[in-house]
Structure formats: structure tokens, C-alpha cells
Amino acid sequence: MQIFFPKEKESENRVSILPETVKKLVELGISVEVETSLGKTVHVSDDLYASSGASISKDRNSSLSSSDVTCRINKPETEEISFLKKNSIHISFLDPFNEIELVKEFANSNISAISMELIPRITRAQKMDALSSQANLGGYAAVIEASRCLGKSFPMMMTAAGTISPSKIFVIGVGVAGLQAIATAKRLGARVEAFDTRPVVEEQVRSLGARFVQIDIGETEETEQGYAKELSKEQIKMQQEGMKKICSQSDVVITTAQVFGRPAPRIVTKEMIEVMKPGSVIVDMAVGTGGNVEGSRAEESVIQNGVTIVGLSNLPGEVAFDASLVYGNNLFNLIEEYWDSENKKFDFDITDEILSGCVVTHEGDIVNNMVKDRI
Ligand code: NAD
């Protein structure tokens, strides 16, 4: 059984596995191959991978076609699927609701494609949940980025030269990323407020020492997996009205709002930005899925009325080493769960609760119901 870890696309800082996780796979009896200079962006040499038990591949296409499993972070180029070994397994983020052609190509090529974003949110699968492991670090990086762009200190300082008041941070959307953003901003000494459409979050916000902003937007719902459901146009309007004042008083606004499988809701409007203080900063963590903030642009910092709008679509990539460590561990936990150590093969039963959630294609068919519905 051979697993191959190819290099990521040029713009990606993270890598899909670090040497310490390679070691754990090798201990299971799996042969691990990594593409040469895989670890360059996180300062890990080929030698370090080799001393952890990996073979170093200098021929990417040959490794793709000889490996039983290929693991990476980002979805592959469609053209690369034809190189994969027939009936092999491919594990990565896939964006399957928007990448229908890619999904069809996996099915046509007889590849079992696992979508990391579709790992179910059940207790047994928490250790494999890469959306959460990456969102957590993304929330941290968003706060660090905001503090870098803001010409103010986060904590209060009482000095002989005068008192510096603490910065005010407003976090919109309190899932995994939002909770880490709140915790990080609190640790840095800021005053933090937060809002989410799911009322269940209020208690979590309070337990971190932040204030939950009350805005009456009527009935809201969440899915069985804990994801927010889309708001109506009227509810979004009510939310925007309720937030305008908070934004105008904040030094930093961090938006993390997402609706699973749909474009991110547009929450912060031009009108709201116009009432914000010049010099303040907005970090739009949803910029990669449509954006929560009017005028935000991926990989750019846009200045509107003196307000800096930061649009980094890969915030976990700002802490690439740790993001790689936890992503590799998510992959290891997934592989180990189905590893039959006696027969040295995968026990790949797609009726299993986790696999039925995240396997998108298998034996030539699209097998995931959510993806089938979308098609
Ligand atoms: P997410 O990335 O889908 O969305 C981020 C947040 O945005 C969510 O809290 C959502 O409610 C919020 N949101 C959506 N529309 C909004 C709007 N208009 N205004 C303000 N906020 C809005 O969420 P997530 O980080 O994946 O987490 C969703 C929930 O699932 C959380 O409660 C999290 O703790 C839970 N979770 C459970 C497990 C598990 O049980 N295994 C794993 C991960 C997360």
C-alpha cells in the first residue's frame, strides 16, 4: 500500500504532511512517497522526510499512477486525474458543490474521491475535521493580521506618557474561526463583541469574556451538523441595521460568516463602512467564498473611506507550519480509522457513517447524495 503526497499549487504555503506524521504512517506499515521539495514553504527538507521513512519522488506523474492513495490539501487540476491509478483513492479539499466537472472526471476515471469539507460533524470524526483545524488557525491569523494593519495597540496601557485605551474588536460569525478570533483578541487585551445568527453561540461568546450583541432578526435555524441556514433578505437587512452602530464604534471588524455549500452572506455594506472610523480595519475571512464585505477583494487590501479591508483567502496559510501539522494529522486519523493492519489494506466500506458522508465518487459513480442533489 503506497500513499503519495504531491506538492501543492504555487500559491499555497501549507503542505499536506510533515515528517512526524510520515513516521506514524510508516509505523502502520504503509509506504509513503512525497514529491521532492514538498516541504520547501515550511522549511522542511527532503532529507528530513527521508529520515522519517518517506521515499522522495522526483517523478510526480509516475508516483500519481503507481500510488493507491494520493493526499493533498487543494483540489487537483482536472487534467491530472487521468494520471491517477485506476481504483485508487484521492483525498483533498474538493469544493464539490462548485466543481461538478472535476467530480464527474473522478467518477469517469474510477477514482474514489474523498472531500475533506464533507467529513461529517460527528464526535467520531472530530479528529479528521480539517475544516475546523484550518478555521481555528485562520481565526487566529485574522486577528494577528488585523493588529498588524491597525495603527493602535490592542491592550490598554497606562504609561507615564498617557493612557492608551484598548482597541474594540467586533467579530461577526462565531463558528470555529470566530471563537478563535475572540479568544485571540481577548488574549491580546482587546475589548471584544460578537454576533452570530445562531442563538446557541451566545453562551460560548460570554464564556470567552466577550459581549454578545443582541440583534432581533426573528427565527433562525441551523442544520443537524450545526451549520447556519441562509437568512432571508429581510433578516439580512435587519442584521445590517443592528450592526451599523457597533461597526462605527469598532477599531476592527472580523467577519467569518459562512452558510455551508452556499456563497457567503453579504453582511457589511458600503453604507456601514462609511460610518466606520478612518484607520479602522476589516478582515473578511469569507473573501474566498463570495465575501461578507462589500468591496473586499481576494489577496488584496482595499482602502475605502480610510478603512482597510483585508481579503486574504488563505489565512491558515499565514501560519503554514502549524496548519500543515494539523492537516496532516487529520489525514492520518482518517487513514488510520480504516486501516486493516492485518491485511495491510483499507477497509473501505462506503456505507460507514463517516465515509458515506465524505466519499464523493466510487467505482465509477457519484455516490454522495448532497453532491448528486446539487447536480
Ligand atoms: P461556518 O464556517 O459554517 O460559519 C461560521 C459562522 O457564521 C457560523 O457560526 C454561522 O452561524 C455564522 N453565520 C452564518 N450566517 C451568518 C450571518 N448572516 N451573520 C452572522 N453569522 C452568520 O461555521 P463552523 O465554524 O463550521 O461552525 C458551525 C458550528 O458547528 C459551530 O457551532 C461549531 O462549534 C460546530 N462544530 C461542530 C463540530 C463537531 O461536532 N464535530 C465540528 C466543527 C464545528
Domains of the chain, residue spans: 2-118+320-364, 134-313
Of the residues 132, 147, 167, 258, only one is catalytic, namely 132
Are both 2-118+320-364 and 134-313 of the same fold? yes
Mutate to test the pocket of ligand 1, among 132, 221, 237, 266 (most ligand atoms within 8 A of CB): 132
The answer to whether residue 132 is catalytic is: yes
Residues 70-111: pLDDT tens digits? 999 999 999 999 999 999 999 999 999 999 999 999 999 999
The answer to whether residue 121 is catalytic is: yes
Mutate to test the pocket of ligand 1, among 97, 122, 201, 256 (most ligand atoms within 8 A of CB): 256
Nearest to 237 by CA among 213, 210, 218: 218
Question: What is the architecture of the domain spanning 134-313?
Answer: 3-Layer(aba) Sandwich (3.40)
Q: What is the pLDDT of residue 143?
A: 98
Label residue 220 by pLDDT band (50, 70, 90).
confident
Percentage of the chain lying above the pLDDT 70 cut: 100
Label residue 199 by pLDDT band (50, 70, 90).
confident
Q: What is the pLDDT of residue 136?
A: 98
Pick 223 or 251 by higher pLDDT.
251
In CATH, the number for domain 2-118+320-364 is 3.40.50.720
Residue nearest to atom 15 of ligand 1 (CA): 257
Label residue 300 by pLDDT band (50, 70, 90).
very high
Q: Rounded mean pLDDT of 313-319? A: 98
The answer to whether residue 347 is catalytic is: no
Whether residue 225 is predicted with pLDDT greater than 80 in this model: the reply is no
Tally the C-alpha atoms within 13 A of residue 48's C-alpha that lie toward its C-beta. Answer: 13
What's this model's pTM, rounded to 2 decimal places? 0.95
